[in-house]
């Protein structure tokens, strides 16, 4: 049930979470399906309704940087610097986990991914619940993340108490996930905060992931963020095809995308979702510029166009 985030509805949603129920919440990146992070049973239901592999850990959302200490065993200098600079915002830090945090949240890992979202409704919900919130994107495994309340997967909608409508997500791509458990910080998933901004904040270069390293990051798959139609990245889309284009569209089956990385990212999932409804065999995507600020967009386009269904990236 989609509801407006009135104070009454936020209070009801917070109480539902405290009682072990699930709620869909908006964030600035994508909509997430939320559970009380301390409630292992509720967290397990998230895995079930998303059909999410058990080895894929979930991000914990807090309403204040200090609340990170409740789930993290240790917050090093890099974590402090990054969160001071980018929270609230689309940055997730991976740090050692507190023993007491249910292992279901972190899929058995000794680390926990934490972020403070920059969306008033998400922050209000965390405060109403009174607990940190475990929340993956509110889509089924491998599929496109929802960037509006209406885009939340129907099966997920059936199993939650409320879908809080926070309007369209302004970032539109998931958060940047940075692993801070090693001496050298590394990006596990590019996202709303750019590599250049993270490096500028830390004053060091981020490490590169060695080949095979994605295995260290459970839940990073070659194919992901994918519509049902096959996605092909091309220089110029065939006339009349279902496509994301940069020039004037040749038909109403094409969507003109902005030539700005942030605006493109904000529009991408909605555009792919719209073209997916045409049920064509292929959605063509004109290749964006190969510039550093397009890293997150490229990551999602590569994963959406990958043919590999479900095996771990190696
Ligand atoms: O923007 C976002 O991050 C959204 C909103 C809802 O906050 N959430 C999101 O969650 O994208 P999800 O579950 O779809 O993606 C979380 C990613 C996964 O790829 C997972 O592998 C990684 O974060 N992750 C979570 N905990 C981790 C950990 N302890 N170590 C390494 N990676 C972790
Ligand atoms: Mg996801």
Q: What is the tens place of the pLDDT at every residue in 109-150?
A: 999 999 999 999 999 999 999 999 999 999 999 899 999 999
* Omega cis (within 30) before 42: no
Give the pLDDT confidence score for residue 226 in this predicted structure.
Answer: 79
Q: How many residues does the chain have?
A: 314
Instruction: Please give the helix or strand (H or E) that residue 94 lies within, else none.
Output: strand 91-96
- The model's pLDDT over 171-191, given as tens digits with 9 standing for 90+, comes to 999 999 999 999 899 999 999
Instruction: Please give the helix or strand (H or E) that residue 266 lies within, else none.
Output: helix 261-276
Give the pLDDT confidence score for residue 314 in this predicted structure.
Answer: 29
Give the pLDDT confidence score for residue 313 in this predicted structure.
Answer: 36
- The answer to whether 100 and 10 have CB atoms below 8 angstroms apart is no
- The answer to whether 124 and 16 have CB atoms below 8 angstroms apart is no
- Cβ 166 under 6 angstroms from ligand 1: no
- The answer to whether 45 and 51 have CB atoms below 8 angstroms apart is no
37, 72, 92, 138: residue to mutate for ligand 1 pocket, most atoms within 8 A of CB: 92
Alpha-carbon separation of residue 92 from 89, 176, 186, 191 (angstroms):
9, 6, 12, 9
- Cβ 174 under 6 angstroms from ligand 1: yes
Nearest ligand to the C-alpha of residue 61?
1
Q: HEC profile for 201-247?
A: HHCCCCECCCCCHHHHCCCCECCCCECCCEEEEECCCCCCCCEEECC
Burial 204-214 (b: 16+ CB within 10 A, else e): eebeebeeebb
Nearest ligand to the C-alpha of residue 92?
1
Q: Global pTM?
A: 0.95
What is the C-alpha to C-alpha distance for residues 226 and 140, in angstroms, rounded to an integer? 10
6 exposed, middle or buried (CB, 10 Å; 0-12, 13-18, 19+)? exposed
């Amino acid at each position: 049930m989609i509801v407006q985030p009135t104070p009454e509805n936020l209070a009801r949603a917070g109480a539902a979470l405290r009682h072990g129920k699930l709620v869909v919440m908006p964030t600035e990146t994508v909509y997430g399906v939320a559970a009380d992070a301390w409630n292992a049973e509720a967290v397990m239901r998230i895995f079930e309704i998303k059909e999410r592999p058990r080895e894929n850990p979930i991000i914990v959302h807090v309403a204040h940087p200090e609340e990170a200490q409740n789930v993290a065993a240790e917050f090093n200098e890099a974590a402090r610097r990054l969160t001071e600079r980018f929270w609230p915002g689309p940055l997730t830090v991976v740090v050692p986990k507190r023993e007491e945090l249910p292992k279901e949240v972190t899929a058995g890992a000794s680390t926990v991914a934490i972020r403070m979202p920059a969306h008033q409704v998400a922050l209000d919900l965390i405060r109403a619940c009174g607990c940190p919130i475990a929340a993956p994107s509110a889509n089924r495994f491998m599929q496109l993340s929802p960037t509006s309340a209406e885009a939340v997967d129907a099966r997920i909608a059936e199993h939650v108490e409320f879908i809080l409508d926070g309007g369209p997500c302004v970032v539109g791509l998931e958060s940047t996930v940075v692993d801070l458990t090693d001496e050298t910080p590394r990006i596990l998933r590019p996202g709303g905060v750019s590599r250049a901004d993270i490096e500028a904040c830390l004053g060091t270069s981020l490490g590169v992931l060695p080949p095979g390293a994605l295995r260290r990051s459970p839940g990073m798959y070659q194919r992901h963020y994918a519509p049902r139609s096959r996605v092909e990245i091309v220089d110029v889309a065939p006339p009349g095809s279902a496509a994301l284009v940069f020039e004037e569209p040749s038909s109403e089956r094409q969507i003109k995308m902005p030539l700005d990385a942030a605006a493109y990212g904000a529009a991408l999932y909605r555009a792919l979702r719209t073209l997916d409804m045409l049920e064509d065999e292929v959605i063509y995507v004109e290749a964006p510029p190969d510039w550093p600020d397009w890293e997150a967009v490229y990551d999602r386009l590569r994963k959406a166009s990958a043919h590999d269904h479900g095996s771990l990236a190696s």
